[in-house]
Amino acid sequence: MSDNDIDPRTPVVVGVGQFAERLEDPGYQRLSAVDLAANAARAALADTGADPAAVAAAIDTVGGIRQFEISTPGAPAPLGKSDNYPRSVANRVGAAPARAILDVAGGQGPQHLVTEFAATIAAGDSQVALAFGSEAISTVQHLAKAEDKPDFTEHAEGSLEDRGFGLKGLMSRHQAMHGLTDAPSQYALFDNARRARLKLSREDYATAMGELFAPFTKVAAANPYAAAPVERSAEELVTPTETNRMIADPYPRYIVARDKVNQGAAVLVMSIAAAERLGVPREKWVFLHGHADLRERTLMERADLSASPASVMASRHALELAGIDAAELSTLDLYSCFPAPVFNICDGLGLKADDSRGLTLTGGLPFFGGAGNNYSMHAIAETVQRMRAEPGTFGFVGANGGLMSKYSVGVYSTTPAEWRADDSAALQREIDSWPAPEEALQADGWAAIETYTVKHSRGGKRTGVVIGRLEADDRRFVAMTQDGDEEILAHLSTGEPIGTRVFVRSFGFGNRVTTSEARMDELFPPRPKVLRENYEHVLVRRDGHLLEITINRPDVRNSLHPQANEELDEIFDAYFADPGLWVAILTGAGDKAFSAGNDLGYSASGKPVWVPKNGFAGLTSRRDLPKPVIAAVNGFAMGGGCEIALACHLVVADATAKFALSEVKVGLVAGAGGLVRLPRTVPAKVATDMILTGRRLGAEEAQSYGLVNRVTEAGKALEGARALAAEILDGSPTSVRVSLQVMAETQGIADTVDAVTHPSSALEDLMLSEDMVEGITAFAQKRRPVWHNR
């Protein structure tokens, strides 16, 4: 096919550019991320061989790849940042695009954006589009505390299509609770699983990783844009030393992506018609022959943790669309943040680690540099240059995002080819239909290790992370080792742990794994279900069969942090286990607040935050409350405080009480039961109003909706609760307990007759109880019954 036979809307890559600076370079300029990208964009404009100013003026669309400092909520930007990165870069190069895009996070972004721009141009909705990205992490870290640090803050006028972080399925609060917060520890899970699948020893697999990456260092050493241009041997790469310390088993530092870079890259795509109009020489044109974008299942949904079949499917589909196979490729650049994603594509396409063509054009992320989400923009730039130098050959770019989660592929060549749409959507539907293991968020019992890693901190602390399967039902779980448990760390650090038997137990702060049940009991001695003399954050008072529990944190409006929650959980365990205690009252110290809920000040401190397995205050997630709990609400019951009150059987409020689910006001939701219990307690419209606006209900209004049982005068909530408790204590504790059980058992039965006829063992227990006999006898004898609670 000649150029003249092609649809003039066919997209072609016509310009690529790169720019980098290192701290130690002569003439180091301390450039911002915007300036780095602008320099790369200028290089791309010049690379077209046409008038750069005319080309810049023709740009109608720009797309920026997110820097790390704008890739996650709350990420710091110590030197400031642009509020419209794409337009800041466009302004630098003299472009005034109608459309500016800030793409989602992930290393797949550069290839995905180039593919998207090509498709948009082919559809006639764009003529000239510029994609770019950059990172100034090295400069930011170097100058963050300098007295003369630069200010990279800037404002750019114009619209912005901000696509958000795009982190859904890539980050999990549950996984973060178990140490999976950093890329090395998560990718290590894949490489260890692959090693076990191949039945390789630790030593042999380390050798394989070193041999995979040693050629990458040679390429990086010759690359003028590389952040670490040092050639290293395979042995040097994987031998732990003081400078090559272990990060996460099996990774020492040298084979981990290097994010301390100052790099930018840009790719210019336009229609053939625009290229001809602007005078871009035909020898500059590079066509996108094949492309695909696929997303893997989330980490815990993957059937096999040793591979990413979605990435391989994307690679094969792009090659199929290009009409070639892997053997016909002249160049390859496989995203190489760690060995796992490179091995994965090699395994899937039948490539050898020592392929004579090489597996990188840049030197790879650990050596060239892991330029945030933008690495593959550099790979595309290198590929385009190679395609021009070797006309008619084909180059492959594999761009990986997340945890081998998102994979975008491009196959490039100077050979003319019209645009062809891919069939990624159908393949994605197939991937999404794959069966997934069931996950146990709270894991308890014997299990087998599926994969693992051991994380190494700079200070020498080691923490193990295990993904395993429960013996009882084969559900998958993630768990951590407990600090100081050298026994399990030794097990994970020698021989082959995968497939071996371990013991896991769940706690409010997460799942913990060790070598045996006995060892677990040593690490976490069973807590006796008895009341202590004193608690740090809670007061308890026993008055006959009544237990009064007071949250004693009035200086923070009785808000709860993990330690207070743990004490309340312990107290309620003791209350429900003590046959001599029949009714409990929960209140707050002082007259200002019952509880303001979660202690946000503590949460913002950066300290670990968790709640017990039984939920907030040891109540909101407790499946069984077999004895009455009365909330005595004095003042504010806000957020989690309202959720605690909702979890109690009865609520007595004084006239000053205010109830609200105020979480939306601080960017949270009422996740401790409020979203479920409130609509089941008050009218749906009222609940929705409270949940979406944080609206406060006074005591009398709350009573009118059924949220409150009784209202007292100001300051008398506890007295009112005591009076209510006395009425309950006047009845049979056995009858009270049985009544609560039957109500709980039938709550989910919609049909009234079915609920009435529901067989309950509690009724059988009542028929055999001493209290039933005593109650009937006392009635007949016209005396007060003496309850036995048995």
State whether 741 and 723 are in the same domain.
Answer: no
Residue 318 has pLDDT above 80, yes or no: yes
Domain range for residue 597?
A: 538-729
Residue 331: in which H helix or E strand, if any? strand 331-334
| Residues 776 and 656 both lie in one domain | no
Query: Domain with 554 in it: what CATH number?
Result: 3.90.226.10
Continuous segment of H or E residues that includes residue 487: helix 486-493
Q: Which two tokens stand for residue 412?
A: 């490039």
**Which of 432, 456, 490 represents a domain boundary (last residue)?**
432
Q: What is the mean pLDDT of residues 669-687?
A: 93
Whole-prediction pTM value? 0.91
Boundary (domain end) residue, out of 523, 556, 574:
523
In the predicted structure, residue 758 carries a pLDDT above the cut 90: no
Calpha distance 372→69 (Å, rounded): 9
Let me know: does 136 contact 33? Beta carbons within 8 Å: yes
Beta pairing partners, 467: 451, 478
Q: Rounded CA gap, 136 and 225, in Å?
A: 13
431 with 310: CB under 8 angstroms?
Answer: yes
Q: Are residues 419 and 495 in the same domain?
A: no
CA distance 92 to 94: 6
Of 458, 520, 521, 511, which Cα lies nearest the Cα of 488?
Answer: 520
- If you average pLDDT over residues 483-501, what whole number do you get? 96
Counting other chains too, the contacts that 619-622 makes at CB distance below 8 Å and 24 or more residues apart are: 619/568, 619/572, 619/586, 619/644, 619/647, 619/648, 620/644, 620/646, 620/647, 620/672, 620/673, 621/672, 621/673, 622/572, 622/647
Give CA separation, 47 vs 172, 385, 394, in Å.
42, 10, 20
User: Which residue from 389, 424, 420 is spatially nearest to 409, judged by alpha carbons?
Assistant: 424
Residue 370 C-beta-side C-alpha neighbours within 13 Å: 22
In a domain, 115, yes or no: yes
Q: What's the average model confidence in pLDDT over 501-517? A: 97
**Quick one: pLDDT at residue 2?**
59
DSSP-assigned states of every residue in 568-580: HHHHHHHHHH-TT
Query: Is the pLDDT confidence value at 3 over 80?
Result: no
Q: Using CA atoms, how far apart are residues 729 and 402, in angstroms rounded to an integer?
A: 58
Q: What is the mean pLDDT of residues 615-620?
A: 94
**pLDDT band at residue 4 under the 50/70/90 scheme:** low
d(CA 71, CA 23): 24
Label each residue of 509-537 as H, E or C. CEEEEECCHHHHHHHCCCCCCCCCCCCCC
**91-110 pLDDT tens trace:** 999 999 999 999 999 999 99
Q: How far is CA 571 from the centre of its chain?
A: 33
Average pLDDT over residues 262-288: 98
Domain-embedded: residue 227: no
For residue 592, is it within any domain?
yes
How much is the pLDDT for 786? 86
Residue 789 has pLDDT above 70, yes or no: no
Residue 426 or 787, more confident: 426
CA angle 384, 94, 413 (to 5 degrees): 10
Pairing of strands 583-588, 629-633: parallel
Contacts of 184 (CB under 8 A, 6+ apart): 247, 248, 251, 256, 338, 455
List, for residues 594-604, the tens digit of each pLDDT value: 999 888 888 87
259 and 164 in a common domain: yes
Identify whether 35 is part of a domain. yes
Domain contains 185: no
- For residue 670, pLDDT beyond 60: yes
Strand partners, 9: none
In this structure, how many other beta carbons lie within 10 angstroms of the beta carbon of residue 526? 7
Over residues 651-665, mean pLDDT = 94
Q: Check whether residue 350 and residue 472 sit in a common domain.
A: no
Q: For tokens 């997209």, name the residue.
A: 11
The two structure tokens encoding residue 615: 């939920």
For residues 422-439, average pLDDT: 97
Q: Are residues 377 and 261 in the same domain?
A: yes
**Cis ω for the linkage preceding 250 (within 30 of 0):** yes
Please report whether residue 685 resides in a domain: yes
> Do residues 597 and 641 lie in contact, with contact meaning Cβ atoms separated by under 8 Å?
yes
Residues 771, 775: Cα–Cα separation, whole Å: 6
Q: What is the mean pLDDT of residues 742-746?
A: 84
How far is it, in rounded angstroms, from Cα 269 to Cα 132? 11
What are the beta bridge partners of residue 130? 62, 268
Sorted by sequence, the CB contacts under 8 Å of residue 688 that are 6+ apart come out as 679
For the chain, what is the mean pLDDT? Answer: 94
Q: What pLDDT, on the 0 to 100 scale, is given for residue 777?
A: 81
In a domain, 559, yes or no: yes
102 Cβ partners below 8 Å, 6+ apart? 63, 64, 66, 70, 84, 85, 86, 160, 161, 162, 163
CA 37 to the chain's CA centroid: 28
Query: Quick one: pLDDT band at residue 66, thresholds 50, 70, 90?
Result: very high
CA 756 from centre of chain: 45
Q: What is the DSSP string of 746-783?
A: HTT--SHHHHHT---HHHHHHHT-HHHHHHHHHHHTTS
Give the pLDDT band (50/70/90) at residue 610: confident
- 316 and 424 Cβ atoms separated by less than 8 Å: no
Identify the CA nearest to 109 among candidates 398, 335, 364, 373.
373
753 and 721 in a common domain: no
Do residues 479 and 468 make contact, with C-beta atoms less than 8 angstroms apart?
Answer: yes
- Domain count of the chain? 4
Instruction: Pick 8 or 752 by higher pLDDT.
Output: 8
Averaged pLDDT, 655-681: 92
Check whether residue 551 and residue 604 sit in a common domain: yes
Q: How many CB atoms lie within 10 A of CB 744?
A: 15
**The CATH number of the domain where 272 resides is what?**
3.40.47.10
42, 72: one domain: yes
Q: What is the 3-state secondary structure (H, E, C) of 341-392?
A: HHHHHHHHHCCCCCCCCCCCCCCCCCCCCCCHHHHHHHHHHHHHHHHHHCCC
Look-up: residue for tokens 């800037």? 154
Q: Is 70 exceeded by the pLDDT of residue 766? A: no
- Asked which of 432, 457, 489 is the last residue of a domain, the reply is 432
Instruction: Say what the pLDDT of residue 88 is.
Output: 98
CB 326 within 8 A of CB 355: no
Of 374, 380, 346, the closest CA to residue 362 belongs to: 380
Q: Closest by alpha carbon to 262, among 139, 150, 142?
A: 139
Q: What is the mean pLDDT of residues 647-674?
A: 93
Active site residue ranges: 643, 663
Are residues 424 and 457 part of one domain?
Answer: no
Q: Is 745 exposed, middle or buried (0-12, 13-18, 19+ CB in 10 A)?
A: middle
74 and 60 in a common domain: yes
Amino acid letter at 123?
Answer: A
* Mean pLDDT (whole number) for 122-132: 98
CATH number at residue 483: 2.40.50.840
> Is the separation of the CB atoms in 512 and 504 below 8 Å?
yes
- Distance CA(276)–CA(284), nearest Å, equals 11
> What is the model's pLDDT at position 308?
97
Look up residue 13 and give its two tokens: 């890559």
Quick one: average pLDDT of 663-690? Answer: 92
Quick: pLDDT tens for 400-413: 999 999 999 999 99
Q: pLDDT grade, residue 490 (50/70/90)?
A: very high
Residue 762 binned pLDDT confidence (cut-offs 50, 70, 90): low
User: How confident is the model at residue 245, as a pLDDT?
Assistant: 96
**For residue 59, pLDDT beyond 90:** yes
Q: Are 508 and 534 in contact (CB under 8 A)?
A: no
Collapsed DSSP state (helix, strand, coil) of residue 73: coil
Do 545 and 656 share a domain, yes or no? yes
- Tell me what pLDDT residue 75 has: 87
Answer whether residue 31 is part of any domain.
yes
Q: Between vectors from CA 223 to CA 217 and to CA 229, what angle results, nearest 5°? A: 45
The encoded tokens of residue 626 equal: 């077999």
Which amino acid, one-letter code, is at 385?
Q
